[in-house]
């Protein structure tokens, strides 16, 4: 904190900061004491607690509300003896063992991270990413210890952090610690206000998953899902959304034709430099992992689509085949939040670190999951996304309910790219759902804390049904003699789908 800190601190408190930590690594004791005294006086005007980093002597001298200590600082037991009875003690934790020890030592909160890399301080521990924070939160379950995420957090990624950093059972963060996004801003008041608005909106939104437009009391039925799917198909044909696809080069043509058949417009673009503009123009993004080229484009695309609150569909084709694919998938999922994750048993099993299903290239081998419904529900909770498990029967879950779909024809398994076209159809239906929702709302409405607007569970179901039902119609045509004649007929039937056709054929079970 520099000598010109008074105005920025005052502005950030006006903008909504709810706790201040004074951290001075390079100041001498006299200078640190003066900064702490003046900071406390400003914080008291706003009734905001103030903590001192590391220096218990400074905290005692100014009557601060507590301290924040690191793993190599004074032990909690001694700090507790020195400080007043109700003083707050927080501790930085980088591992599960750190968290367990902090809980045992009786801290009031833990700072978990680093979530992302940061220029504020030298990071001594590996970056955890939002998914890694969930493991640390799991160690807090059963305790009253609060948790905040630390390192690299800003207004452009705070929703991803809050949404994605949860324990397997759903234990969320209690807050986030922010430095550079406010302190280094030329407008700290509005920088703090942007963060505060997003955090408050997220906390007031329906309980996660937050991908449904419906109220939390909404009850899904097979008929209601059929109705929603039909409405989304109509929205696709009405708005003709642009569907951005970073997909493998084996299926680019089939995927583009499937998008056009459904009534949307495809664009296949991979350059990182295009992603910001495309995220504003397109209705949804598909990132298909089949041939990993230009990982920078994949990283940039999801980030910008998250910023514009557009649906992101992740299809981790063959993710379990190589270590490079596994590490690349982890990098993507830590960089941005997918709306839907779609894959076969081997692919989703690899993401979940399950050994029930083995991979053979892009295919699954073995008997499959012993309880696929439980698997997709648990993975959806873990990844905070809609999960689509494709197979002879398809399973879709938002982490709460599981829907089993029993449509399709064996010819789908005999053509290249049928699974990839499911990803394309899901992204197209997500675009339709999102644009349909947008047409019914006031775009000037305040931030509502959702990463995506629209019923994404029903949209994912719609994408699967479109492909599987079109395959049934195509396979029974007299001009179809096998897989070679099936593919063009299948594209024809995708284009001929109507809400009535979908509703009449859809085999939906809510488990």
Contact 19, 108 (CB under 8 A): no
Beta-bridged to residue 52, according to DSSP, are 22, 67
Q: Determine contact, residues 179/2, Cβ cutoff 8 Å.
A: no
Angular region, 154: left φ>0, alpha ψ -120 to 50, beta rest: beta
Q: Which of 429, 422, 346, 395 is nearest to 511 (CA)?
A: 395
Residue 420 falls in the annotated catalytic set: yes
353: which 2 tokens?
């670190």
Burial of 264-301, coded b for 16+ CB within 10 Å and e otherwise, reads bbbebbbebebbeebbeebbbbbbbbbebeeeebbbbb
* CA–CA gap between residue 206 and residue 335 (Å, rounded): 24
CA atoms of 193 and 219, how far apart (whole Å): 36
Report the run of H or E that residue 74 belongs to, with start and end: none
Q: 43, 93, 420, 430: which one is catalytic?
A: 420
222-239 and 456-475 helices, crossing angle to 10°: 80
Residue whose token pair is 């998250």: 306
Output the CA–CA distances (angstroms, integers) from residue 321 to 84, 325, 347, 358, 419, in the order listed. 56, 7, 9, 9, 17
* C-beta of residue 401 within 8 angstroms of C-beta of residue 407: no
Q: What is the DSSP string of 201-248?
A: HHHHSPSSP---SS-TT----HHHHHHHHHHHHHHHHHH--EEEEE--
d(CA 299, CA 465): 29
Taking the C-alpha atoms of residue 235 and residue 250, their distance in angstroms, rounded to an integer, is: 29
Residues marked as catalytic: 420
């Amino acid at each position: 904190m520099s000598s010109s800190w008074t105005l920025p601190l005052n502005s950030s408190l006006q903008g909504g900061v709810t706790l201040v930590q004074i951290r001075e690594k390079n100041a001498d004791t006299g200078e640190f004491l003066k900064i702490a005294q003046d900071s406390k006086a400003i914080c008291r005007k706003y009734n905001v607690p103030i903590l001192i980093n590391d220096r218990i002597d400074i905290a005692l001298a100014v009557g601060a509300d507590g301290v924040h200590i690191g793993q190599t600082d004074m032990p909690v037991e001694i700090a507790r003896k020195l400080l007043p009875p109700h003083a707050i003690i927080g501790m930085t934790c980088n591992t599960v063992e750190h968290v367990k020890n902090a809980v045992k030592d009786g801290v009031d909160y833990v700072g978990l991270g680093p979530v992302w890399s940061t220029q504020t301080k030298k990071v001594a521990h590996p970056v955890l990413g939002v998914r890694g924070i969930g493991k640390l939160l799991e160690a807090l379950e059963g305790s009253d210890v609060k948790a905040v995420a630390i390192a690299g957090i800003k207004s452009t990624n705070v929703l991803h952090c809050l949404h994605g950093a949860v324990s397997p059972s759903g234990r969320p963060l209690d807050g986030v610690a922010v430095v550079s996004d406010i302190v280094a801003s030329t407008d700290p008041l509005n920088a703090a206000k942007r963060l505060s608005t997003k955090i408050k909106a997220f906390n007031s939104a329906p309980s996660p998953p937050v991908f449904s437009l419906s109220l939390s009391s909404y009850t899904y039925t097979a008929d209601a899902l059929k109705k929603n799917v039909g409405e989304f198909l109509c929205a696709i044909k009405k708005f003709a959304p642009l569907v951005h696809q970073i997909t493998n080069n084996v299926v680019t043509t089939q995927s583009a034709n499937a998008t056009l058949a459904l009534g949307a417009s495809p664009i296949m673009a991979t350059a990182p430099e295009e992603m910001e503009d495309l995220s504003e123009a397109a209705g949804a993004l598909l990132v298909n992992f089949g041939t990993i080229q230009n990982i920078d484009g994949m990283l940039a695309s999801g980030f910008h689509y998250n910023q514009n609150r557009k649906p992101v569909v992740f299809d981790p084709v063959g993710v379990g085949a190589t270590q490079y694919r596994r590490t690349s998938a982890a990098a993507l999922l830590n960089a941005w939040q997918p709306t839907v994750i779609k894959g076969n048993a081997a692919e989703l099993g690899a993401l979940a670190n399950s050994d029930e299903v083995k991979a053979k290239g892009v295919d699954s081998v073995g008997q499959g999951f012993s309880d696929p419904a439980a698997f997709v529900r648990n993975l959806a909770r873990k990844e905070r996304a809609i999960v689509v498990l494709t197979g002879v029967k398809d399973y879709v879950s938002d982490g709460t309910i599981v829907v089993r779909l029993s449509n399709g024809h064996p010819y789908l398994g005999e053509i290249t790219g049928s699974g990839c076209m499911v990803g394309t159809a899901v992204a197209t239906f997500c675009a339709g759902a999102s644009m349909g929702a947008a047409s019914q709302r006031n775009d000037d409405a305040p931030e509502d804390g959702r990463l995506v607007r629209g019923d994404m569970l029903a949209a994912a179901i719609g994408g699967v049904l479109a492909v599987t039902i079109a395959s049934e119609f195509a396979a029974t045509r007299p001009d179809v003699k096998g897989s070679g004649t099936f593919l063009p007929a299948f594209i024809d039937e995708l284009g001929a789908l109507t809400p009535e056709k979908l509703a009449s054929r859809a085999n939906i079970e809510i488990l």
